[in-house]
Each structure stands twice: as structure tokens, then as C-alpha cells.
Amino acid sequence: MSGRSVVLLAIQRALQEEPNSLPKETHTGYDRKPQPDLTGTDDILRRFSERLTMVGGETHVLSGDEAVNCILRELIVEFKDQIVLLPADPELERLGIPRLMNEVAVNRIQPESSSLSLAAEAAMGITTAQAGIADTGTIVLIHSSERGRLSALLAPVHVALLKKEMIFPDKITFLAKAQQAGLDYSATSQTWVTGPSLTADIEKVLVRGAHGPRRVIVLIYSTDQG
Amino acid sequence: METTTQTLKANIRSALNNDRLQAAVLKATNHSLAKRAEVVAELPNWEAMRSEAALRRDRTLTRLDDTLLELEKNATAKGIQVHWVADGEEANQIIGQICREAVSGSETTSTKGEVVKPLIAKSKSMTTEEIGLTPFLESLGFEVVETDLGEYIVQIAGQAPSHITAPALHLSRQDVGRIFVEKLGVEYREDPVELINIARGILRQKFLSAQVGITGCNFAVAETGTPLIVENEGNGRLVSAIPRVQIAVMGIEKVVATLDDLMLLLELLPRSATGQRITGSVIFFNRPSSSRESDGPRELHLVILDNGRTKALADPKLRAVLRCIRCGACLNACPIYRTTGGHAYGWTYPGPIGAVLAPVFLGLEKAKDLPFASTLCGRCSEICPVKIDLHHMLLHLRQEIVAACPQPILEKVMWQTWETVMDHPALNQALAAIPRFLLHEVLRSHWSPKLPLWGRDRSSPNLAKESFAQMFKREFGEHK
Amino acid sequence: MALLNSKVALFIPCYTEQFFPETGMALVRLLKYFSVAPIYVSSQSCCGQPAFNSGQGRLAKPLAERFLRLFESYDWIVAPSGSCVSMVRNLYGELGLSPQALRQWELVRDRIYEGTQFIYHQLGIHAIEGRFPGKVALHESCHGKRELGIEHEPRSLLSSITDLELVVPPDAGECCGFGGTFSVKFPELSAAIGLKKLASAISCGAEIITAVDDSCLMHLQGLAQRQRLNIRTMHALVIMSKALGLE
Ligand code: SF4
């Protein structure tokens, strides 16, 4: 017999012996309706920033592509002559970030087409985030051929660009609305990232920057003033 | 693995003699409890969430076969390879096979001509500890690296994790410093940041050359066919990003029916485990990477393990233990764990959850002492986010153990005598007629420090000059 | 008072009977002081907890059935121990009782009360108008706290006493390390846990540590004596009865 049928049989036998251990009372008083205080966009934004800041992340709220370029320039300048990871993400292209990087003279590499050991030397990675969850300050990275995992992971600094309208009040609302918003949850692998990587494995001392980024900077932007 | 009465007692004694360990454990568990309390307090419906989670876990358990089949169907449809295994031995064989295939054809000698062992990077997983996967893979000629920093520290120290979510909780920074000097040949230092940096540097190289990534699986969502893990360090992300073959190992109970169930558990788990609202990352392994993706596993395997879990499933008194989401809160709250740390338990899962799982997984005979190593104070059941009645399960297991395992004759006789006396008022009264000073002397000599029924550290209580019955009669006369 | 005509029985745990009779007497005196005349059924013995706790449920069963037979006909049963009350209320169902005993249990389980709970809820006494000088640390015995939900009862009763300073150490709700059979099987561990408890009470400046269970106190007293610690134990009911001068 295959492992599969052995395990299934064992489960079915166990369930036959004790078919129903559920309590009759199934009302637990649990109410999963989203937090009532997070309805307006401003509330949601504020909560997102507040929660991300609490776990050591940074946020900037920007309106317009120009503002995004401006702040990115400031951030990148620090990394002149160093390696910055930039995936072949059309949205990054649209925002003119590759051009910006040439101007600032950072050493831009696409992790998709370069060696792993070179990518591992990067000082910064810039990616888009496909959604945000305000209640926890979480960004959702949905992986695809244009949006690999490594740009957000290998460098000590991760800058994520997040569209303002893609921030949802909480996890449950995110899952309910992701589909409508064009994000197919189950289609691709994804990572929910909340703040810098961290460890408290030695005497519970919090150390930010474990195997992943030490700094996570989320640029929340609206494309045009609308 | 096996715990005997002797090893358990010896383990406890060695923990009690180790002040450094006790201080580290107490400090760490207190820290976790305090952080947990903060984030639990901000949710007014915490208790309702616990009840709901317990209910939903139970619901899934009552249709575990269908739920797992749904998981399998949906995962397979997306190209995830699902393997069912009855026990640890089978799991190891299959995982070993996958690893062998993954590295076949890749060169095994370095430029200098020495043999380079193919590298497997692991992220923290208690399930793989349970089945002894690492030593098994090492025996096949792989180099296996634990990448969770705490787990890495215990791995190089040659120890086992002492806590299910914080493997190196029993070590002080000085301990870690000394381990690094001895095992890594670096200069002594004790600043946690510096120590972490050293380990990170070493592990970064390992990540880059790992050929297979092995992860646990905190949950697997049946309706979408999605295994997932939660972690903080980013090692789980790297293990599932760089190697082109990834294996996730789960116990059968890790399946959840819906994303909605998952969201509830994702509120409970990080809060209970580390006092976080959410962990630094939640990684959903929805499918293997396509050929157009430059990272992520091309081959994604999900190993579904029984290894004794169906024994709990079949037992109405123990089934609920499969609700466990391995948060470790019951360890932090347990007066025993807080005093001895995790190694005293002598097997993979310490603390109250471990004392319940041991007799189930290892058999009553092999784990006959662990359920007795508890004061039944109930802190574990009180704190458990999925409301497992841990201490009553321990009490139940004690009955099973006494019924199934040979008991010391002396103990048997003692209990039987006690019952007879207690059940017969006439006998009781006859005893009461013995002059109390005499009884007192008998008790004192028997309970003396030389025959320490109560140990050396504690005086035995004094038999009162008059029993309550005598006092009551003298003072009020009336009796019934 | 409605209770005036009801039959209130005492249940005196086996260790209280032999080692701490004054706790039982304190309960009697308090009840009488509040106009309740308790009945003592002298053929009572043990609730069966020590056996059940040790895995000897088979031996606990006849004792439980005996308990239920003896106490079935009373309106209330009061015991100076949260632990024994919890055994009767919450665990008798696990013993495989005879159908008759199960019927009796359904009645008895709602009528059995720990002393401070009975005084607080059934007698409606929320304050003790007496005096007891001293700094007293509260130990919230596990079974009382977690199985019976005892929390504010001893707190309000004790803190209402004149000149009594009640302190609640941060670890008040943690186990003292007694655990019945555990204290015999793992004496060193049991002692280590108890010493932490005592140290914390002492560091709060307490001279006395109190609880609603003599089992915890017996263990803590034994430790304090052997280690020559500057703290004594006293059952909450004894403090209350002393405060009222009921000796
Ligand atoms: S038994 Fe409960 S508290 Fe303990 S690890 Fe499992 S879920 Fe957490």
C-alpha cells in the first residue's frame, strides 16, 4: 500500500471511531467584521504608517510620479557606485526609475539576468508591492517573472513602491477584495512582509536585519492627483 | 528518542543545578509572556477568537480526510508534488530521494579536487526535528544547514532546540559567544548584534550555494492548495527563493479548510508566540516557479506526515491536541518549563504540549513519566490560543499510563491501602484511636530528611494534636 | 436570610482533617458568625483527588461515589479548599461513575462551594469588619483561580480587614509548585518552584502568605521552615476568623 492510502485509511478509521466531537454550541461570539474605525483613506494610510513604523519600517506618502522620482533620487544618491537591484517590472519602468538610476550612477543590475553572487553584493533593492495591509503595516509581494523574490530580499535596504489605493484595512478585507482589484491570490506565490527582517534569538534582544533587509522603506504613492 | 524515569530525573537535576540556564529561561519566557500580554490586550474579542479558532480547528479535524484530499487536489493542480507518509522513516526516505535527484549531475568536487557535499538549507521546522531528518540526510552525504539563527546556534553546539519557537532560548549571550569561539573559531564576543552578524555572514554563503531548501509548514490552506510558513528572520524567504527544489514538511493536522480560517489563526499564532501582530514574513507557496521566473523553486514538494497523529485523532479525549498551532505559549507559561527549560523533557517537543504529545507519539510506556511531571496548574490551558485542555489531557494520560504500564509494587499497595482506609469509616476511626503523638512520631520518622518523601528542601507538615473531627466534637458536641 | 433554613454541610479535606484542623474550625466559626449552623458528617473521608491526580482513577471512583452518597441530601456543601471543590465540580464526570452517582453528581456539583466563595456569593458578605494587623501576600491557588474562577472573593474579603495590608505579587496567579503527587515524584523541582514563589512574596515585604488551599500552604510552609525564610503561611479563612476574634 502506498503511504497515501495508509495515511488516509488511518485517518478514516480514527474518524469512524470517534465521528463527531464537535460541541453543540457553535456560537462563539466571534465577529470578524473589519475594524470599524478604518474606513476613510486617510485613516487607512495613517494606520498603515503607524503600524509599519512600530515594527521599524519607514513610510513616505507621495502624490504623483514626480514626487516618487524626487525621493527615490535622494535615497539612491547614497548608494552611488554601489549595486542596486531593480527587477524588470513595467511599473518601475513607467515611473522612469531605470533612467533615474543611470543619472545617479548607481550600478543597476537585474537579478533575473545576473549571477546570484553579484546580486548578493547589492546595497539596495527596489520593487513594487502589490498591496498593503494597514492593520499590520504589511506589504504584499506577489511573485512573477517580472517580480522575483530576490530584489526585495538580498540587499540590506528594500524600497517598495505601493499604490495608495491598494492599501486595505486588514487581512480579511484584503482577501475579500484582492480578486476585484485584479490580484489573483492563489495564482502565484506571494510573501507578506512586515518591516525589516529581525531576530531575537539571543537573549530576546531584538536585532533588526537578520537574513533579510535591515531597512524597509515603503513609498506610498498616487499616480495622478485623482 | 526515549525518556526514562532516570533520564528525566537526571535532566531535571542538571537543569536545577544550572543557574545560568535557569536565569536565561526565566528571562526569556517572561519576556515572551509580557509581549504577548500587550498585543492580546488590544483585542477585546480575544477570548471569542480563541473559541472560534478551537471550533474551526475541530471542524476541520472531523473531516480531516476530505480536507487533506482537497488540499492535495488543489495543490497538485498547480504543480505541487504531494507525498503522504505514515511515519518518520518513510518521510526521510522520500525526502532523501528527492534531495538525491535534485543534486544528481551537479559536480561534487571543488576546484581543489576535494569532495564538496551537496548543500541543503533548512528553515526552522519542529516536524523535521521530530523525524530526525537532519541526521538522516547527513548520513546520505549531504551537508544540512539550519538557517534560523537560533537553530543554527544549537546545531553547531550539537544540541537540540529547547523551545518550539525559540530554539536557543536556554543560552545566554556568553554561552553563544563561547560556542562561536569553539565551533567557528572566531574571537570571543558577546554582543548579540555582533554574534548575529557573524552567523549571518556564514549563512549567507550557505544560502547562495544551497541546492535544496527544506521548510516546515505552519499551515496549508485546502481551498487554495497553499502551504505557507511564517517567520521573522528572512531565512524562510531565502530558503524558498534560491534553491530550485523546495520541500515543505507538514503534519496532517496543519491543514486548514479556508483562507478565512487561516486569517483567524494568523491573528492568534504570532501574538501567542512572539507577541507580534504578524510575523516579519508570511510566505505562501502557491505553486512552483514557472520557467520564466528567475527565482523560487522550480520543483515544490509537500510532504504530509502522520507519525502518530492519527492515534490522537482516534481518541476522543486527545483529539483536540491536534488543534495545536505550535505557538509555544504553553511552554512560556508552564511552571515546570520556566524552571527547567526544554532539554529536561528529553525529546523533541517540550512543555505541556510536549508532555501530551510524547505518550501519543512515542507510546505510553516510553513516555510514562512526562505526564506526571506537571503540577496540573492549568496555566497552559488558560493561555493556549486554540483552547486545548492540556492539563486535563495530562490528567487523563496519567490514568491511561497507570492502567497500561506496570507500576511499582510499593506504590500499588500504598494506594490500595489508602483507598481501603478512606472508604471505611470504621477503619478510619480505628486509626483515629491511635494516640496522635504516636502517629506523629511515625510520620516524622518516615518523612524525615533521611527518608525524604518530600525531599531535602522541605519540612513535612506536623500532624495536629487533635484532628478536625476531635476538635469539632469537643467544641460543638454535635456530629452526624 | 434565605439560607437560615437550609442544610449546610462541611466538607473537610483529608489533609485539613489531620494537619490543619484549625482551618476547618475557622470555617465553622465564620459560618456560625454569619448565622449558618454547618453540619459535620463524620463519616466523610477524601474526595478522591489524590488518587485521581496520581492516575489511580479506579480507586478514586468509590471515594467519589461515597462522597456523593453522603452529601446528596444537603442544600450546600462548603469546603476550605478550592482544589477539592474543583475535583468534585469539574472532574467527577471523568471517573466513570455509576448512573446513580452521576445523577447525584448533577445535584451536588452546583451546590459545593469553596469557603470564601460561599461567604461572598451565598451569604452576600463582601467585607469582614474585623482587624488583623500585618502585610499579607496573596497566592491565588491554581485550581481555585482557573477551575473555579475565584479571584475577587478572597481579595475583597481580606482587603476589607482593618490593618491588613494585602499585597498581590506579580506572580500571584502562578503555581506554587505543589501539585499533589508531583511534589513527591519531583521533590526538588517542586521545591525550586515554591522557593521562587516565596521569594517574590518576601520581596513584596509580606510576613504572611495566604491562599484558599491548605495544600499549597502546607508545601510553602514546609519550604519556609526548612529554608528558614522569614515568612509564614495562613489560610484566608483563618485570617478572617482571627480578624473577627472568633477563637
Ligand atoms: S498547545 Fe496551545 S499553547 Fe501550546 S504550543 Fe500548541 S497552540 Fe500553543
Does residue B335 sit at the C interface (CB-CB below 8 Å)?
yes
Instruction: State yes or no: chains A and C have 3 or more CB pairs below 8 A.
Output: no
Asked if residue A24 belongs to a domain, the reply is no
* CA B126 – CA B349 distance, rounded (Å): 8
Distance from the CA of B95 to the center of ligand 1, in angstroms? 27
Asked if residue A25 belongs to a domain, the reply is no
Distance from the CA of B378 to the center of ligand 1, in angstroms? 13
Q: How confident is the model at residue A225 (pLDDT cuts 50, 70, 90)?
A: very low
Check residue A2 and give its pLDDT: 87
* CA C176 – CA C173 distance, rounded (Å): 9
Tens-place pLDDT, residues C9-28: 999 998 899 899 999 999 99
Strand partners, B120: B144, B212
Check residue C171 and give its pLDDT: 95
The number of distinct structural domains making up chain A is 1
Lowest-confidence range among A175-184, A193-202, B49-58, C70-79? A175-184
Does residue B202 sit at the C interface (CB-CB below 8 Å)?
no
Q: Residues spanned by CATH 3.40.50.1860 within chain C? A: 126-243
First to last CA, chain B: 56
Please name the member of B16, B375, B379 whose beta carbon is closest to the beta carbon of C188: B16
Nearest CA in chain B to A176: B260
Tens-place pLDDT, residues A14-60: 998 765 666 666 788 888 765 556 778 889 999 999 999 999 999 99
Lowest-confidence range among B213-222, B433-442, C98-107? B433-442
Tens-place pLDDT, residues B347-382: 999 999 999 999 999 999 999 999 999 999 999 999
* CA-nearest residue, atom 7 of ligand 1: B324
Q: Which three cell numbers stand for residue C53?
A: 491526580
Percent residues over pLDDT 70 in chain C: 98
Asked if residue A18 belongs to a domain, the reply is no
Percent residues over pLDDT 70 in chain B: 93
If you average pLDDT over every residue of chain B, what do you get? 92
- DSSP assignments along B268-324, one per residue: HHHHHHHS-SS-SEEEE--SPPPTT-SSS-SEEEEEEE-TTHHHHHT-TTTGGGGG-
Instruction: Name which residue leads in pLDDT, A179 or B69.
Output: B69
Judge: B314–A111 Cβ closer than 8 Å, yes or no: no
Asked if residue A84 belongs to a domain, the reply is yes
Could you tell me if the CB of B388 is within 6 A of ligand 1? yes
Instruction: Name which residue leads in pLDDT, B112 or B63.
Output: B63
Could you tell me if the CB of B53 is within 6 A of ligand 1? no
Among candidate residues C224, C219, C218, the one with its CA nearest the CA of residue C198: C224
Side chain identity at residue C123, one-letter code: L
Would the pLDDT of C114 be above 90?
yes
* CA-nearest residue, atom 3 of ligand 1: B384
Domain of A180, in residue numbers: 35-222
| Domain C2-121 class, CATH top level | alpha beta
* C176, C197 Cβ separation under 8 angstroms: yes
Q: What is the pTM of this model?
A: 0.95
Distance from the CA of B51 to the center of ligand 1, in angstroms? 14
Rounded to an integer, the average pLDDT of B85-89 is 97
Instruction: Name which residue leads in pLDDT, A104 or B69.
Output: B69
Check residue A183 and give its pLDDT: 78
Strand, coil or helix: what is B389?
Answer: coil
* CA A37 – CA B223 distance, rounded (Å): 31
Judge: B295–A4 Cβ closer than 8 Å, yes or no: no
Tens-place pLDDT, residues C86-108: 999 999 999 999 999 999 999 99
Could you tell me if the CB of B324 is within 6 A of ligand 1? yes
Q: Which three cell numbers stand for residue A103?
A: 543619472
Q: How confident is the model at residue C1 (pLDDT cuts 50, 70, 90)?
A: very low
Q: Which three cell numbers stand for residue B456?
A: 531535602
**Nearest 10 degrees: CA dihedral of A76, A77, A82, A84?**
10
Check residue B114 and give its pLDDT: 75
Judge: B207–A204 Cβ closer than 8 Å, yes or no: no
Check residue A33 and give its pLDDT: 66
If you average pLDDT over every residue of chain A, what do you get? 89
Would the pLDDT of B272 be above 60?
yes
Tens-place pLDDT, residues B73-83: 999 999 999 99
Tens-place pLDDT, residues B44-65: 999 999 999 999 999 999 999 9
Pick among 3.40.50.1860, 3.40.50.720, 3.40.462.40, 3.30.365.10: CATH of C126-243: 3.40.50.1860
Could you tell me if the CB of B102 is within 6 A of ligand 1? no
Beta-sheet strands, E only, within A67-224: 83-85, 107-109, 124-129, 131-133, 138-142, 157-163, 167-168, 190-193, 198-199, 207-208, 215-222
* CA C227 – CA C246 distance, rounded (Å): 32
Tens-place pLDDT, residues B287-315: 999 989 999 999 999 999 999 999 999 99
Check residue B431 and give its pLDDT: 72
Q: Which residues 16-75 of chain A have a CB within 8 Å of chain B?
A: 17-23, 26, 28-32, 51, 55
Could you tell me if the CB of B384 is within 6 A of ligand 1? yes
Tens-place pLDDT, residues A48-87: 999 999 999 999 999 999 999 999 999 999 888 899 999 9
Ligand 1 atom closest to the Cα of residue B352 is 4
Please name the member of C94, C142, C225 whose beta carbon is closest to the beta carbon of B377: C142
- DSSP assignments along chain C, one per residue: -GGGGS-EEE---HHHHHH-HHHHHHHHHHHHHTT---EE-TT----SHHHHHTT-HHHHHHHHHHHHHHHTT-SEEEES-HHHHHIIIIIGGGS---HHHHHHHHHHTTTEEEHHHIIIIIS-------EEEEEEEE---HIIIIIH---HHHHHHHHTSEEEEEE--TTTTS--S-TTHHHHHSHHHHHHHHHHHHHHHHHTT-SEEEES-HHHHHHHHHHHHHTT-S-EEEEHHHHHHHHTT--
Q: How confident is the model at residue B434 (pLDDT cuts 50, 70, 90)?
A: confident
Element housing B84 (H / E): strand B81-85
Would the pLDDT of B335 be above 60?
yes
Check residue A104 and give its pLDDT: 86
Rounded to an integer, the average pLDDT of B182-207 is 96
Judge: B234–A6 Cβ closer than 8 Å, yes or no: no
Q: Which three cell numbers stand for residue C113?
A: 462551594
Domains observed in chain B = 1-42+332-406 (no CATH), 43-107+114-307 (3.40.50.10420), 410-476 (no CATH)
Q: How confident is the model at residue A201 (pLDDT cuts 50, 70, 90)?
A: very high
Does residue B259 sit at the A interface (CB-CB below 8 Å)?
yes
Tens-place pLDDT, residues C48-86: 999 999 999 999 999 999 999 999 999 999 999 999 999
Residue position matching grid coordinates 476538635: B471
Judge: C53–B395 Cβ closer than 8 Å, yes or no: yes
Rounded to an integer, the average pLDDT of A125-130 is 96
CATH of residue A68's domain is: 3.40.50.10420
Q: How confident is the model at residue A108 (pLDDT cuts 50, 70, 90)?
A: confident
Would the pLDDT of B6 be above 90?
no
Instruction: State yes or no: chains B and A have 3 or more CB pairs below 8 A.
Output: yes
Cα distance from C135 to chain B (closest Cα, Å)? 24
Could you tell me if the CB of B386 is within 6 A of ligand 1? yes
Judge: A149–B237 Cβ closer than 8 Å, yes or no: yes
Q: How confident is the model at residue C140 (pLDDT cuts 50, 70, 90)?
A: very high
Could you tell me if the CB of B269 is within 6 A of ligand 1? no
Would the pLDDT of B205 be above 90?
yes
* CA C219 – CA B2 distance, rounded (Å): 31
Judge: C187–B376 Cβ closer than 8 Å, yes or no: no
Asked if residue A166 belongs to a domain, the reply is yes
